[in-house]
Amino acid sequence: MNQPSDEPVSITSARVSHSQDLKRRQRRYLLSMMTRTICFVLAIVTDGPVRWVLVAGAVFLPYIAVVLANAGDTRTVSGPPAYHADELPALEAGPKGQPSVPSSEQPRG
């Protein structure tokens, strides 16, 4: 079970919301498909080796676009540090058998 951590979350480790991620992936797909359309149109009006490069772009860009559109946010968010019972200070018996904070960790006041 993960315990809440007192450490603030770094903004670079936080994931973007699902709607923002989806919007970003849709824009990337649209840009790839627009580039494919431009390659296709230019392949019709040009000739020579450039035509074949544009045809290859028109053929392979849909595959690349789909792969990029399906690639979501892959950043991993690290959780709080692991709980280790042996790292906690031992409790001393207080009044009426109640555990108390060790004297080394008593608040100073």
- Does 69 map to a domain? yes
Residue 97 belongs to a domain: no
Task: Give how far Cα 19 sits from Cα of 9, 26, 73, 81, Å.
Answer: 21, 10, 12, 29
**Residue 4, both tokens:** 């809440």
Tell me how many domains the chain contains.
Answer: 1
pLDDT per residue rounded down to tens, the chain (109 residues): 455 666 665 656 667 788 888 888 889 889 989 999 999 999 999 999 999 999 999 999 888 888 877 776 666 555 555 556 666 666 666 666 555 555 555 555 5
Range of the domain at 29: 15-73
Q: Is residue 68 one of the residues assigned to a domain?
A: yes
Residue 94 lies in a domain: no
pTM: 0.52
